[in-house]
Amino acid sequence: MNYISTRGASPSCSSAEAIRRGLAPDGGLYVPESIPVLEPEEIEALARVPFADRVVSILSRFLTDYGQAELRRMAEEAYAEEKFVPSPAPLVPLNIYSDRMYFLELWHGPTAAFKDLALQILPHLMTAAMHKSGTEKEVRILAATSGDTGKAALEGFRDVPGTSVVVFYPAKGVSDAQRLQMVTQEGANCRVVAVEGTFDDTQAGVKEIFSDPEAAEALDRSGVFLSSANSINWGRLAPQIAYYFSAYADLLAAAPKPPLEPMQMGEKVNLVVPTGNFGNILAAWYAMRMGLPVNKLICASNRNKVLADFLRTGTYDRRREFYRTNSPSMDILVSSNLERLLFELGGRDADKVATWMKDLGDKGSYAVDPATFRALSEVFVGGFADEQGTVKTIREVYDRFDHVIDTHTAVGFNVYERYATRTGDTTRTIFVSTASPFKFAGTACDALFGNGYSRGRSEAVLLDELAAESGMEIPAALAGLAEKPVLHVTEIRPVGMKEEALRPF
């Protein structure tokens, strides 16, 4: 299967080439030429196999220049038992007496956020792509992060031969735990740089470096090739499609005691996705187009609600105040992956997409045509939660269901509750739980022990108290962070990003 650019001005290429490049040369994003569809029996068959096989089943339909055995080896290594404890993507009922609501917990990996699911396998896909292209070059991964991608990319690529990784994060835009996780990163091929500005500034900076011929030339001379670990890379997105199928397969495999009802193949589910760069929910949309029975995709934003407004009005307008919230991984005003969805729903009209993206760049906004807006509205439901609402929801979910959830997952739950009240929808619903609550321990403690509780208490104390209250274990990734030596202290303005990206290791 070949890949084409959403902006139509780059030649099509193989899946390995799309992964190797990350961004298409015309500035667009790669999408598969066609979308494979699974028969109901094929989805049912997934219920009988382990997670790694489910991933292989999905990936092999998209990454056709990788061998089946090759993909299996990669998946088995990426999702090995010692990396994901107890498993990569467990589906957990909110309440054992109900068969209506589930968390899809995607934070049991090495960095305690869902980014691990894709970034544990991406280095395998990337190094194989380099070999397939026949180049001997080193691949340098540039990543802009709103907090979780950075650490997951560093962990994924650390000491992988033939690769290096440079992570840019907004200096004041990540949680304490997220920052500590990154600045204590070990590995001779890892570099972490704080940037004055927002995530949008760092993402724009990275995109600029990608389309800078001078940068490419300079690196080329030193035998380095640039690629991306952000969800603009199809190699990030494809593995994420797999866990939606996995969740559905788990529902099919469950044998609940009456009066709870087992799920029949074909029954539709809602997917609630806390959204920032639109990667995770786009993967859910692809899953739906591939035959996964989906009722609604609920796109939940925090106070940076550019997507909620877009889904309500059809106008995307990034000209607005930017807020630092308690769900920092979603503090984003330019959601890159929306471009792929607009390409698909707008009749795969690359000229149209290129015009919208140009308007976004030049004017800061664009409005989609009525047909595209109608197609969007059929499936997507938007909504947002502010910081107070997020804290309140963490408290409420704890009281009602005895689960402590993180701030991002809480944004999803908050938006869903209002949707369900408004519509009376009782469809089975899967909440994507994107991070461990320990990653945002301050806010979790404020929710559980009272407003302002976290003020003046150290991260280590908050972790301990959260563990004691919730009965959950502190993830290995976060325990002892405060004692680790800080290895990365560089802080720059956005103009300095290119130099940091090019500087030899």
Ligand X SMILES: *Cc1c(COP(=O)(O)O)cnc(C)c1O
Which residues would be at the binding site for ligand X (CB under 6 A)?
113, 115, 148, 231, 274-280, 329-330, 408, 434-435
Choose, from 83, 115, 151, 484, the residue flagged as catalytic: 115
Residue type, 393: T
Between 43 and 106, CB nearer to ligand X: 106
Between 330 and 501, CB nearer to ligand X: 330
Q: Which among 18, 12, 23, 8 is positioned nearest to 209, based on CA atoms?
A: 23
Local structure of 43: helix, strand or coil? helix
β-bridge pairing 365-367 and 380-384 = unpaired
Tokens standing for 50? 């382990």
Between 179 and 352, CB nearer to ligand X: 179
Local structure of 461: helix, strand or coil? helix
The answer to whether residue 132 is catalytic is no
Residue type, 355: T
Tokens standing for 176? 């304490």
Between 181 and 429, CB nearer to ligand X: 181
Residues 333, 307 contacting (CB under 8 angstroms): no
Between 283 and 501, CB nearer to ligand X: 283
Dump strand ranges (E) for 234-379.
269-274, 294-301, 315-317, 365-367
Between 263 and 382, CB nearer to ligand X: 382
To ligand X, the closest distance from the beta carbon of 244 in angstroms equals 13
To ligand X, the closest distance from the beta carbon of 492 in angstroms equals 23
DSSP string, 383-448: EE--HHHHHHHHHHHHHHH-----HHHHHHHHHHHHHHHHH-----EEEEE-B-GGGGHHHHHHHH
To ligand X, the closest distance from the beta carbon of 279 in angstroms equals 3
HEC profile of 205-272: HHHHHHCCHHHHHHHHHCCEEEEECCCCCHHHHHHHHHHHHHHHHHHHHCCCCCCCCCCCCCCCEEEE
Q: List residues bridging with 113 in a β-sheet.
A: 435
- Half-sphere exposure (CA, 13 Å, Cβ side) for 424? 0
To ligand X, the closest distance from the beta carbon of 434 in angstroms equals 3
Longest dimension (CA), the chain: 67
The single-letter DSSP state of residue 169 is E
Instruction: Find all residues with CB under 8 Å of 495, minimum gap 6, and list them.
Output: none
To ligand X, the closest distance from the beta carbon of 86 in angstroms equals 20
Sheet holding 429-433, edge to edge: 91-93, 101-105, 429-433, 269-274, 294-301, 380-384
Q: What is the CA radius of gyration of the chain?
A: 21
To ligand X, the closest distance from the beta carbon of 241 in angstroms equals 12
Q: List residues bridging with 274 in a β-sheet.
A: 300
Between 29 and 435, CB nearer to ligand X: 435
Q: Is 138 exposed, middle or buried, given 0-12, 13-18 or 19+ CB atoms closer than 10 A? A: middle
Between 24 and 174, CB nearer to ligand X: 174
Q: How many residues does the chain have?
A: 505
Between 125 and 330, CB nearer to ligand X: 330
Cα separation, 300 vs 163, whole angstroms: 35
To ligand X, the closest distance from the beta carbon of 103 in angstroms equals 13
Residues acting as catalytic residues: 115
